Amino acid sequence: MNKLPLLLIAALPSLANAQLSDERIAELRDQALAEDEIAWDIAAGLSTEVGQRMAGTEAEARGRAWAVEHLREYGFSNPRIETYQMPTWVRGEERARIVSPFPQSFHVTALGRSAATPREGITAEVVGFDSVAALQAAEPGSLDGRIAYVTHHMERTQDGSGYGFAGPVRWIAPSLAAERGAIGIVIRSVGTDDHRNPHTGGTNWADGVEPIPAGALSNPDADNLDRMLSTGETITMNLVLTPRDLGQQESGNVLAEVPGSDPDAGMVVVACHLDSWDLGTGAIDDASGCGIVTAAAHRFLERGMRPRRSIRLLWAGAEEVGLFGARAYFEAHRQEFHALAAESDFGADRVWRVEFDLPDGAEEDAARLTRLLAPLGIPRGSSPATGGADISPLVADGTWVIDLQQDGTRYFDLHHTPDDTLDKVDPVQLRQNVAAWVTMLAVMANSDADFAPPAR
């Protein structure tokens, strides 16, 4: 690996935008596409040497230590951990079984922030709903002593829009069921696969609602339950979920920089999240994203390039369980000048579209970047960029943003499941991501446009 000592890098002249011609940026892009290994090494290292990284646990802490060690080895400036406290939930036993009239076992997993059943579980009649709207229409008390079940039909889409349609089944249905008297709930997993792998993910409880046991069934088991309910028979289920709340535990963000030459120009923040759910090894969600943004920034270091704007890496903690890292970063750094933010957190498949929310004076940069991304098969989208979860507080505060949109066609086959493992990462598509990101950084970190946030 070609690495320059930080003192040597600091002594090099800055590369202003004029010095980075289209030809030089294209060379950087094409080199990353052909040869980058850093993104794969990070995704593989986190998956293999750390594994699943549930927020607030010892495993997430090992991930932070791993990150600092490797970012230092790669030559980044000031790798560091910024800690905070957060409520921590961990998984226990998970079983679901139809007791009558069609006895058999189902594959189930607890949703984040689920309450626990007794050790022997709860046994009750299942009441089915074909949508969140149907559950909302149920009368208070109508589910007393029963287990609710909510199904849906999530479409496979390239842009991930099916998640927005199906997500409320996980996000709000458990709270709605509790409000109507249910003693537990199972949902069809929010995913597009047909494997017996249930999808976890967090749920939310409305103020004043007492949490109930909440689980997700694998999609084939949900199909089976749909058929059982269609017979008109009374379906009785035994559900065992025994998660625990550990109270306040330590989590943290990992930060590092490529120093810029003009402190008045602000910084470009490139983000990912270090934590993962605990069913797989978090290779897709989001070790790959950390690999992508870090590999792109590293190409400036290994070539002795000092951009005009500093490039800050943000490996956020505790994203999956409530954006605790995103909020902690914003509170700690809100007074700093964040010129631009971007995030990689949608797997490892190719970038297929770029979207912008930039000041008027940066339109020439947007056009230039679009032109340089075209050889990678990345056109400009018609929608404005909105940013990812871990930069959302910055974006809400006025920071400009670019979205390098990844192909999500198969993402929700893997999302929050035991199948989120390194073998699902395609090294060729991973390098295409790095090529797109280094192109974006080469243009935007050296732009002479004014990225001051709009007046509020």
What are the tens digits of pLDDT across the range 139-167?
A: 999 999 999 999 999 999 999 999 999 99
Residue 456 pLDDT grade (very low, low, confident, very high; cuts 50, 70, 90):
low
Number of helices (H) and strands (E) in the chain: give both, helices first: 15, 15
Same structural domain, 286 and 326: yes
DSSP calls for 293-336 = HHHHHHHHHHTT-B-SSEEEEEEESS-TTT-HHHHHHHHHHTTS
Residue 336: the pLDDT is 97
Among 216, 242, 268, identify where a domain stops: 242
Same structural domain, 281 and 307: yes
Same structural domain, 260 and 406: yes
Q: Is 34 within a domain?
A: yes
Task: Examine the pLDDT at 14 and tell me if it is beyond 70.
Answer: no
Q: Is 455 within a domain?
A: no
Same structural domain, 266 and 410: yes
Residue 19: the pLDDT is 57
Phi, psi of 419 (to 5 degrees): -80, 0
- Distance of CA 14 to CAs 192, 260, 268, 383, 439, Å? 47, 8, 16, 34, 17
Peptide bond preceding 264: is omega within 30 degrees of 0, i.e. cis?
no
Half-sphere exposure of residue 357: CA atoms within 13 angstroms, side-chain side: 19
Half-sphere exposure of residue 345: CA atoms within 13 angstroms, side-chain side: 23
Q: Is 135 within a domain?
A: yes
Q: Is 336 within a domain?
A: yes
Same structural domain, 273 and 383: yes
Same structural domain, 373 and 413: yes
The structure tokens listed for 270 are 């490139």
Residue 453: the pLDDT is 86
Same structural domain, 122 and 11: no
Residue 228 maps to which CATH number?
Answer: 3.50.30.30
Determine the Cα–Cα distance for residues 283 and 83; give it in Å rounded to an integer: 23
Residue 18: the pLDDT is 42
Determine the Cα–Cα distance for residues 335 and 352; give it in Å rounded to an integer: 34
Same structural domain, 170 and 198: yes
Same structural domain, 67 and 128: no
Instruction: Note the pTM of the prediction, 2 decimals.
Output: 0.95
Q: What is the pLDDT of residues 52-90, one digit of tens each?
A: 999 999 999 999 999 999 999 999 999 999 999 999 999
Same structural domain, 414 and 398: yes
Determine the Cα–Cα distance for residues 333 and 244; give it in Å rounded to an integer: 33
Residue 325 maps to which CATH number?
Answer: 3.40.630.10
Determine the Cα–Cα distance for residues 346 and 259; give it in Å rounded to an integer: 27
Phi, psi of 91 (to 5 degrees): -80, 155
Q: Is 195 within a domain?
A: yes
CB 430 within 8 A of CB 39: yes
Total number of domains in the chain:
2
SS3 readout for 224-244: HHHHHHHCCCCCEEEEEECCE
Residue 16: the pLDDT is 41
Same structural domain, 274 and 364: yes
Residue 454 pLDDT grade (very low, low, confident, very high; cuts 50, 70, 90):
confident
Q: Is 66 within a domain?
A: yes
The domain of 174 spans 92-242
- Which uninterrupted H or E stretch holds 186? strand 184-188
- Of 110, 88, 54, 95, the residue nearest 243 (C-alpha): 110
Task: Examine the pLDDT at 169 and tell me if it is beyond 60.
Answer: yes
Q: Is 99 within a domain?
A: yes
DSSP calls for 403-433 = EEEEP-TTHHHHTTSTT-SGGG--HHHHHHH
Same structural domain, 421 and 293: yes
The structure tokens listed for 95 are 């079983």
Determine the Cα–Cα distance for residues 256 and 68; give it in Å rounded to an integer: 8
Residue 8: the pLDDT is 40
CB 337 within 8 A of CB 292: no
Whole-number average pLDDT of the chain: 95
Among 214, 242, 270, identify where a domain stops: 242
Alpha-carbon torsion (282, 284, 286, 288), positive or negative: positive
Residues in the chain: 456
Residue 398 pLDDT grade (very low, low, confident, very high; cuts 50, 70, 90):
very high
Q: Is 456 within a domain?
A: no
